[in-house]
Amino acid sequence: MEIYNNLADIKEPFADSFVTIGNFDGVHLGHHMLFSEVVSRAYQKQGTSVVVTFEPHPLQVIRPEISIKLISNYEQKVEMISLAGLDVLVVIPFTRDFAATSAEAFVDEVLIRTIGVKELVVGYDYAFGRGRQGNIEFLKEQGRLKGFPVTVVEPYYVDDMLVSSSKIRELVSEGRMMDVKKLLGRSYQIRGTVQEGKKRGGPVVGFKTANLHLSEEDLCPKHGVYVTQVVYDGKCYGGVLNIGYNPTFGENRLSAETHIFDFNQEIYGKKIKINLLKYLRGEKKFSGPEELAGQIREDILQAKDILAQAQKELLLSCEEKYNR
């Protein structure tokens, strides 16, 4: 997949381009339906399948006060789009100046002149341009006037849940990771660089942990303990993760502390990825390290049982292509 990080990098329109546009936060199953439609149409007509997205998320620029909590960062989004079999990814830098572009100017200058759209595929609720002027009705009329058909992909439901980025954010905040997986098509993942913590996990409690810093400004799963799959250096390990403030020791910094099973490497400063599989329990304050250690032993037994039951599925989800 070719990636263009600026419209100026596109020297000429793509040949017979079949295009979809969106923010694609989380790159969930609904987004993949759009991608599949574009790839299929491009293949049938021997054209170019193109996805257009924006960085940063437009709401971070035009409505910074609402502090939208994203499911995936830019790196994750590009990784997941790259798995969809598309030919080209165009990433438009979203600025206040660009936000002032009218819907018609976007169609004329970006879709037609720069990208060379032949057909456009959009989701049922897509809108763009200043004041969201570019709604479905507008796009269909522009397509009729300017010679490109517009296909609208209808809403997609799984177990009566609408597959949407906003629904996934809601489920993540509620700790409903098994439902999140149904809508994403994969486990919800956090990633980051392992930080030095208080170093009491091993010496004091008896369970070493790899610590990631979390920000309150980011999408944060419900505080508590999760069964996890930890990806490090191309290998997968089981684990248990606590997200919260560690009330037993009176801390006030939000963190994610993961005990990795059958693992004894020093990984401070190394990058890891953590797939959250299932919520086990809420965060609790214990009387001290001994009571906490007892609870962790129970958590580990539950986690290993869950991991054993899902072993085949987890092996597939840990393939390198999903965790690059």
How far apart (Å, rounded) are the C-alpha atoms in residues 129 and 144?
Answer: 19
Catalytic residue positions, numbered: 257
Q: CA triplet 190, 235, 230: central angle to 5 degrees? A: 30
Structure-token pair, residue 235: 């290998």
Other C-beta atoms lying within 10 Å of the C-beta of residue 110? 21
The amino acid present at 10, given as its one-letter code, is: I
